[in-house]
Structure 1
């Protein structure tokens, strides 16, 4: 099982308020129509590198993931509180938060943000 599937399952079990569902790789379009009062999350791998370059020793990887949060249209969710809950979840599991570009509106009108986290395995 990939890191993306494990993280998605852990997010779904975490009981985070206002989280509808976390999906590996992408949010199915049918879920956007069904879940109109909770935030949806897609988790995907961005980068995977060995932590030691130029060595024949391969014992640790550095993995970066993207956590795309899609907010519902019309229902107000406190984005700061929700994103702090997500960041807290990851930091408790030894992930380090990386820089992000802020909120944007996707083509269907949903507010979204892409959070990035990094961890060594």
Structure 2
């Protein structure tokens, strides 16, 4: 499981800009984009909705996964279980690790 550390920085002209440190690995950009997609739509506790990413696919995967967890928390058992539930015919690149980590730390808003 990926460890996520949340840092919120005040920036002039912006309310709260999320910055995340993710343990380095292949796919770090995908992980970050999935996380920022959740922030952008107001799914992450303590983060103001805003424009944080231009990604469509990874944002959509993370949003689908978060919505499924709200309906069925047992899907948090493993990233592969959650990925199968959103029914995407690709291999996941740790987007589900991000969603599950946020869920387990009670950072996803229901």
Task: Tell me the TM-score normalised to structure 1 length.
Answer: 0.29
Query: Between Structure 1 and Structure 2, which shows a larger proportion of helix residues?
Result: 2
Flag the structure with higher strand content. Answer: 1
Bigger CA radius of gyration = 1
TM-score normalised by L of structure 2:
0.30
